[in-house]
Every structure is written in C-alpha cells, then in structure tokens.
Amino acid sequence: MEKIVPNREKIEGEFIPQADDDMIICRCEEITKGEIRQAIYHGMLTMNEIKRYLRPGMGLCQGLTCTRLVKDILARELKVRATLLEESTPRSPARPVTLQVFADERE
C-alpha cells in the first residue's frame, strides 16, 4: 500500500476551534481532541509525532483505547483516508509487567 509522505510545507486552512475540542481522547494521559488538532497545526503530521509531542498512547493502556480515535482525527485534519496513515510504533511489553518479574532470573 502506498505510504503517505507528509507534506511539511503547508496544511490547508487555519486552525478553527470546534465545539467538542475539550473532549478527552486519551484517558490515561488526559489529552483532548483540541490539543491533538492544535499539535497537527504545529506540524505533527504522523501518528508517532503526535504521540511523542503530546503523549496520547503513552499511558498505562498504551493506546489501546485512543489510537484509532487519534488516527481518525489526524486523517480528518489532513483530509486523507485513515487506512493510509502509518501506525505509531507498538512497544513491548503488551501489558504492563512489574520490575520484579523482569528482574527474576530463575528459569
């Protein structure tokens, strides 16, 4: 599938506030739709960049809830199909694991 290369020269239009901008999208890190949309206008044009800039998907659930929502918001702002956007990099462990378990060297 063709990868979308973000065009960093311009985003069409200006940032226009929306009525539901204060809706929480990432519950773990409490990030709103408005913050995500602002970040896109600040030049964060990939899922990884939004994640690194604002932290959605970096909390306890690691994006299980918000990844698709963030992606939809990004797709809408960039006016492209969400399926064409690259995922943010998934990170191990898949579920939080205590330090104690990792540090246990027994077989």
Partner 1 sequence: MSEVRKSDVLVVGSGSVGNAAAYFLAKAGLSVNVLEKETVGNGSSTRNGGLNKMNFRGVPELSIAMYGVEDIWPMLQEDLQKEVGVDIEYETTGGYRCAATDEEMKKLKTFIPHAEKENMHLEFIDGMELRKRIPQFSEKVVGASYCAEEGRANPLKTTLGLYSAARDFGAKFYDNEKAIQIDLVKGAARRVVTEQGNVYEADHIIVAACYGSRELLNTVDIDIPFTHALCEVFVTEPVPIFMKEIVISSTGAYYGHQTAHGSLVFGAGSKFGPFSREGTYVEKRLTSQMIPSGAKGLMEVFPFLEKTKIIRSWSGWHDRTPDDTTCLEAIEEVPGLYIACGFSGHGFGIAAPVGKVLSEMVMGEPLGADISQLRFDRFLPMDPFTGADRVKY
Q: Write out the residues near partner 1 by the rule CB under 8 A.
A: 5-6, 8-9, 42-44, 46, 48-49, 52-53, 55, 58-60, 62, 89, 91-93, 96-100, 102-103, 105
Alpha-carbon distance of 48 to 41, in angstroms, equals 15
* Nearest one of 4, 73, 86 to 33, comparing CA atoms: 73
| Residue closer to partner 1 (CB basis): 17 or 96 | 96
Contacts of 83 (CB under 8 A, 6+ apart): 1
| Residue closer to partner 1 (CB basis): 43 or 82 | 43
| Residue closer to partner 1 (CB basis): 62 or 67 | 62
- Assign 13 to helix, strand or coil: coil
Query: What is the smallest separation between the CB atom of 67 and partner 1, expressed in angstroms?
Result: 14
